[in-house]
Every structure is written in C-alpha cells, then in structure tokens.
Amino acid sequence: MGTYVETPVSRKADIRGLAVPFGFAAALAALASLPPIRENPRATAAFLIAAATLCAWNALLLVLARRKRRTIALHFVPKKQHYVQACAQGAVLLYWGWYWPQVYAYAPFILAQLLFAYAFDMLLGWSRRDTYHFGFAPFPVIFSISLFLWFKPDWFYLQFLMVALGLVAKETIRWNREGRRVHIFNPSSFPLAVFSLALLATGTSGMTWGREIANTQFFPPQIYLMLFLIGLPGQFFFGVTSMTMSAVVTTWLFGRLYFAATGIYFFYDSYIPISVFLGMLLLFTDPSTSPRTGSGRIVYGALYGLSTVALYELLGRAGMPTFYDKLLQVPLLNLSVKAIDGAARSKWVRIFEPPRQRNLGYLGVWAAVFAMLSATQAVGDNHPGQWMPFWRQACEAGKPYACPYVADLDLSACERGSGWACNEAGLMDIALSRSGEDLRRQNPADAAAPLDRGCQLGFAAACRNLHTLTTGGELTSAPPTLADYPAILRGSKGEIRDRAPAALYALACREGWPGACGR
C-alpha cells in the first residue's frame, strides 16, 4: 500500500497595495517642480531625497513581500476623531492665512508633509503587519504641526524628519492601558517637543518661523471667538471640554493674580496668548493620550496651564524664545496620565468625580466661562496690554519689566515705518543703558541706529537727537503724527486697513493716546 504525501498549496502573494505609497512618493517628487520649491535648491533636494527614500523603502518592501508571499491589505477605516479635528485645524489655517498670506504661500509645503506622512505611515505599518487602516489620521498630525512650527525652506528636510519621528513614536512607543496596547504620546506634540528642545539647546530657532507663527495668529479679527466655535464639535464628541476649560481658567486666574500683585500683565499683551489658547483647544487635548477620568482631565488641563506659565517664565529669564511654552510639556503630561487616572480613582478623590456622559452640560459651562472672559477682555481683540499707552504709563510708574517692553514696542513700530517710534526707541535705549534695567541695552551709542532711521523717515526730533547724541546737549521728544498712527496703533494685530484720519483718531482715542479724543 503506497504512502500518501500531501502537497502544500502554494500561496499567491498579493502586493498590489504597495502601489499606493509609491503614488504618494511620486506626487511628492512632482511638487519639487512648483516655483516656491524649485526656486530654493535646498528645498528641492529635500523633496527629492524624501521621495527617493520612500521609493527605495517601497521597493525593498515589495521584494520582501513577494519573497514571503505576503498579502498586503489596505482597509479604509475613517475615524471621527481624525476628520473632525482635521476640519477644525484646517479652518484655523484658512482663516489665519487670509490675514497672514505666508500661510497660503506655505500650502505646497503642508501638502508635501501630507503626502510624505501617508506614504511613510503605510510603509511603516506594512513593515510590521499585513494590514494598514487607511483613513484621515495623517491630517490632524500635519495640520497640528503646521499650526505651531515650520522650518524655513533651507532646512525643510528637518520638517520631514519631524513628521517621521511622530509617526514612528506612535507606532513603536506604546504601553498597556486599561487592557489595550495603545500609543503613549500624541503623534504631533511629541516631535514638536523633541525638536523644540533641540532648537533651544543649539540656539537655532532662527531656522524656523516659530516666532512669526505665534505673533501672527492674533492678526485675524475675533480669532479667540473663532477658535472657541470651531473647537465645539470635537469637545462635544470626544469629551475633552473639561481639559480646555480648566487650562484656560487656571492660566487666566494666574494672570489676574499677577496683575493684582504687579500692575502689569504676565504675558504682556494678553491673559492667554492666542497661540497658547490654540494649544489648549487643539494640541494637548488628544483623547487617546489624555486621562479617561473626569477629574483627571480637569487636573490634566490645569497642569497644562500652569506648566505653560512656568515655561514662559523660565524661557524668558534664560533669554530664550518663549513661543515654545505650549510645546515642551505635552509629552511629560502624556506620561502622567496613568498616575493622574490612578489618583482620580482612589477612594479619597473618587467622591469628587464629575458625572460622566455630560458633554453637553460641560459645553454649556464652557460657553458661560468663555462669555465671561470675553466680556471682561480677558480674551478677545481689545486687551489693553497690546497697546502702547498702557505700557508707557506702566513704565512712567516704575512697574517692573515695563520700560524694556516699551523699548521693544517702539523698535517694532520703528521697523514698521514710524519715525516717532524710532525717536522714542532711541530715547529708551539711552534711558535703559543708564538705569541698567535692560541687559540688552547697555550702550548709549546703540541709540544712533533707530534715531538715524527716524531721521530718514522725516521725523525732525529724531534728526535733532541724532545730532545731540554726538555733540552733547538735551534730548527731546515730540508727539506722534497722523502718519505714525498706522504703525503705532495696530498693537498685536495685523495692519490697520482703514487709514482715514477720522478712523485713526477714533482708534487712538480708544487706546488711550493723549490728545487723540479731542481730534
């Protein structure tokens, strides 16, 4: 009787899905031909090298998958968390870009990051398993990064590395949480924090548009209200309202106490800077990497607000850029969520646990809080700290930090074309060099530069003071002219569009400029 031998059935490989990341990589290479990229050789090289790297990885994965007879599966699995957040972030980019055109000019670079993220995430996923869930996950990652930190074209390759780091961290840095294996870090905030630390350590923040991003996000009118409204859907669906609300209230309360103690504003031109408010709405509130308990989320938000205050103070004292204040702490907060939830579930704290599944109720409280903050100018377009008269009065009253800040405001308005501000910047340089209050201004001769610019702009007092600076004599001030108003009245907002004399005088009166109301 013969022996029966079962012949194994040959499994046929299915690797058609690998054509998708190749298509994304090809589109990324094609973007290099657009004028904004083509005009910069280093940006062009970054695009082409990133595309070539993805293609090489794709080809290697194709060979290995065919050899091992793998079936590469691609399933479309859209998640509400991703597309709701992406819509909110996209709305912010569009509104902000209308008032700061650089955002629209940066659009090809944002698209490049999206193409890179999709291809990279697919290849990373298929390198570890057979199935990739295709959806909108890269959108909130890229949009979130684009709301806080851009590398300039000469160093744009670092932007690709930042995106890659976030996706790798999401895929590989995981822990067990409530019976599930989940990622620890928010995939956008983790690379933002790591690269922010590297930029601070190397003193290379000038490679980015970080400072300009933080400053220009206040340009659109009623931007606080806009952010509040676009944040509502995500807060309702994902129950993160308490985190945002506790972060905002904690920061505002600190600002009020600081003002009561010092007579000036901690963040200078606001109780809560717009970029910080944006972080409170759309950065640290990822429901996947935040606490699950109600009281834990309240504590989590309060910690974000307090850590922002602490980082702003530490960075400022160290002479470092302060716009990193809302970025550095998020990974540490992500690491703390187990401990926060554990404490919230203890018998001593559990009695304070707020009711669950009350998202609409939380939204109502948050709406009331926001309305109160808006009515008291704690948030909004009319905070007094953004205007020069408040700080000039604080300087005259001897308030700490006020005079150096006035000098900074004068210099900014001088650069925008105000001869009066140039003259005042020169006078402040001299005064501060004598008082020693500002370590950046210790040489009276440095006043010559702003005085010279003021003279070139036709401000007669600046010409006289420039001559007096070299010959000796009494320095003089003079009131601003109508021509100076567009530069000195804008505060922290964008350019003033209505430049009719009546409109300018009305705005000067509202801001508290002496003599303006009578005009």
b/e map of 272-303 (b: 16 or more CB within 10 Å)? bbbbbbbbbbbbbbbbebbbbbbbbbbbbbbb
In a domain? residue 232 = yes
| The pLDDT value given to residue 442 | 86
Token pair 């001088």 is found at 414
Q: 112 CB contacts (<8 Å, ≥6 apart)?
A: 28, 31, 37, 47, 50
Averaged pLDDT for residues 349-363? 69
Does 266 score more than 80 pLDDT? yes
In a domain? residue 374 = yes
pLDDT single digits (tens) 458-512: 999 999 999 998 888 889 999 999 999 999 999 899 899 899 999 999 999 999 9
Averaged pLDDT for residues 285-306? 93
Does 305 score more than 50 pLDDT? yes
Query: What percentage of the chain reaches a pLDDT higher than 70?
Result: 95
- Pairing between β-strand 180-183 and β-strand 174-177 as defined by DSSP bridges: antiparallel
Same domain for 165 and 40: yes
Helices (H), 147-293: 157-172, 189-202, 210-216, 223-238, 241-262, 274-282
| The pLDDT value given to residue 349 | 67
**Assigned token pair, 434:** 């004598």
Same domain for 346 and 301: yes
In a domain? residue 6 = no
Q: Are 353 and 242 in contact (CB under 8 A)?
A: no
**Assigned token pair, 33:** 């031909």
Same domain for 238 and 166: no
Strand-pair partners of 74: 132
pLDDT single digits (tens) 134-152: 999 999 999 999 999 999 9
Residue finishing a domain among 327, 347, 381: 381
Q: How confident is the model at residue 316 (pLDDT cuts 50, 70, 90)?
A: very high
Q: What distances in angstroms separate CA 461 from CA 277, 380, 429, 466, one per listed residue?
A: 41, 36, 16, 9
Averaged pLDDT for residues 262-278? 96
In a domain? residue 208 = no
Same domain for 90 and 110: yes
Count CB neighbours of 16 within 10 A.
Answer: 11
pLDDT single digits (tens) 383-436: 999 999 999 999 999 998 999 999 999 999 999 999 999 999 999 999 999 888
Q: Are 405 and 266 in contact (CB under 8 A)?
A: no
Same domain for 375 and 400: no
Same domain for 418 and 375: no
pLDDT single digits (tens) 27-44: 999 999 999 999 999 999
Q: What distances in angstroms separate CA 377 from CA 54, 242, 382, 391, 510, one per listed residue?
A: 50, 22, 6, 17, 14
Token pair 């700061």 is found at 100
Residue finishing a domain among 118, 142, 172: 172
Q: How confident is the model at residue 353 (pLDDT cuts 50, 70, 90)?
A: low
Same domain for 485 and 457: yes
Does 284 score more than 50 pLDDT? yes
In a domain? residue 63 = yes
In a domain? residue 185 = no
The overall average pLDDT reported for the chain is: 92
Q: How confident is the model at residue 360 (pLDDT cuts 50, 70, 90)?
A: confident
Gyration radius from the chain CA atoms: 27
| The pLDDT value given to residue 1 | 43
Does 350 score more than 70 pLDDT? no
In a domain? residue 278 = yes
Count CB neighbours of 42 within 10 A.
Answer: 13
pLDDT single digits (tens) 185-235: 999 999 999 999 999 999 999 999 999 999 999 999 999 999 999 999 999
Does 184 score more than 90 pLDDT? yes
In a domain? residue 83 = yes
| The pLDDT value given to residue 351 | 60
> What three-state secondary structure class fits 486?
helix
Residue finishing a domain among 117, 142, 172: 172
Q: Which residue pairs, CB below 8 angstroms and at least 24 apart, start in 334-339?
A: 334/184, 334/185, 334/186, 334/189, 334/190, 334/289, 334/290, 335/184, 336/300, 336/303, 337/289, 337/290, 337/291, 337/292, 337/296, 337/300, 338/175, 338/177
Same domain for 150 and 225: no
Same domain for 333 and 446: no
Q: Are 130 and 64 in contact (CB under 8 A)?
A: no
Same domain for 144 and 283: no
Same domain for 373 and 232: yes
| The pLDDT value given to residue 357 | 53
| The pLDDT value given to residue 311 | 98
| Domain residue limits at 75 | 12-172
Does 21 score more than 90 pLDDT? yes
Same domain for 366 and 234: yes
**Dihedral angle computed from the Cα positions of residues 285, 289, 292 and 295, in that order, rounded to the nearest 10 degrees:** -50
Give the total number of structural domains in the chain: 3
